Structure 1
Amino acid sequence: MRRALSPSFILLLFLAVWLALNLLTLAWWPPFDFNGDEAWVLDYLLTGGKAKMMLGWDVVQKGLLLFNTPFYFGYAGIFPHFSHSIWFLRLSSLLAGLLSLAITYLIARDEGHPREGLIAVIILGFSGPFLWTSHYLRWESLTLAMGLLSLWLFLRGTRGNPVQAGLGGLIAGLSVLSHPVGLVFPLAIWFTG
């Protein structure tokens, strides 16, 4: 009698294939700056916060955009030190997307539903908006990864580990610094805690 493959093993296979396919398409799909924001984010990263493209925009001109999304620009700002290729810079978003997929599974597994978690990962991994977000040089995929990580840690913390609950709260707070829409995560923890 053959034993069925475990959801964790299938997840690892899926994540490996997902990552390989996305690494192949990272530089050319979607086309650069198709969303209208990627070019100025790139300019902002490559000039250390002194974007030249948006000289008429006072916030960018003074380098104040950094205060809007400091965690994102701190994280993504590491990548230009190694390479200025769009493939390598977009890798910052792809890695955050990969982390989001893994954490989605971990949340479901810890709640006792590994198969459903695997299905959720596959659906999320193939969804158009998630793929686009994981390919753009923008902050949405990092905000999602941080929000999911905070949720996972908070849920684990509710089982009696206050350190994990505290880390979940801290990361939820930091998710606001990756993008203001991350405020959803600390509010969710506040109202459920």
Structure 2
Amino acid sequence: MMYLTQGSQESLQGSMCVLLEVTHNVDDKQMPQVVPVIFPEVYKIFSDSSRYNVRMRSQAIQIFTNLTESVCSAGEYNKGLVKELLGPFLLPFTEALVKHLQEPDGPASDVGLKTAIVKALTVLVKHVPKQLSQCWLLQILPTVWNTLTHSAHVYVACVVNETEESDELMSKLTQTERLSASKMWSPVSLSSSTPLLRLHGSAVPFAME
């Protein structure tokens, strides 16, 4: 854990890779010790695009998503766990996720980072919709929709046509990001009046103007 707050970029990168793996298997007894320590650090990494590169920031969001899913799963049996562990971090993470999802592609943002952000927002909308105010839901869904429609060319290049441009783009992503990015853009229609966003297996109704 100390490498998250001090040490070289190489040691930080190694710690992030380890956390990506171990946060899949955190049990409800470990959560009260792990979550309050890790969440502030990954939030700092994700939010500071001037200090941390886009791959490291993407990993930070994946760690947040892993822990959030674990907390929400344990919260089905321990009703106070979500409020206790996720509650203090929900607003700052949601603000940061929506903000950085709106950034144009460049040195500080790319399809890999945006895929991680979309997945994190999907988990929040799926598991804690009541904790997200109506105001935030109205900001999240249009932002995700715009990202998906603007990323359609990435889906076509990478999945449909498999162009040389897509090979260069995908080579910059981690293996996890490649798998997620290939299925990032997948809107389907529930009816002619109620489009549906199917994000990483979760269907979210989205009312278009």
TM-score by length of 1: 0.36
More strand by share: 2
The structure with higher relative contact order (CA 8 Å, sep 6+) is: 1
TM-score by length of 2: 0.34
* Larger Rg, first or second structure (1 or 2): 1
